[in-house]
Amino acid sequence: MTSKLNQEIKFYEHPEYGDEDFVYALIDNKVLVRTDFFETEDMMQDHQEYTPFLINDNILSGFEAF
């Protein structure tokens, strides 16, 4: 998906534990972060309140950043 800041975000399940563990987000093919979500549905909503953003080397959710 592409965020409001035009950052490319790819979501991945844990390689061993799959949907029994948190979802990981790769932002702009640079930073991989573990989210606090088990599913991508909330992070991919149009309002992007739960989408992770990379801002000034910090990872923020949309509701924290905007």
10-residue mean pLDDT profile of the chain (66 residues): values are 97 93 96 94 94 95 94
Confidence at residue 19, expressed as pLDDT on a 0 to 100 scale: 87
pLDDT tens-place string over residues 17-27: 998 999 999 99
| Cβ partners under 8 Å of residue 25, min gap 6 | 9, 10, 11, 12, 32, 33, 35, 43, 52
In this prediction the pTM is: 0.87
Q: What six digits make up the tokens of 17?
A: 């534990």
| Token digits of residue 1 | 């998906």
CB 36 within 8 A of CB 28: no
Q: Which two tokens stand for residue 13?
A: 């399940």
Q: What percent of the chain has pLDDT over 70?
A: 100
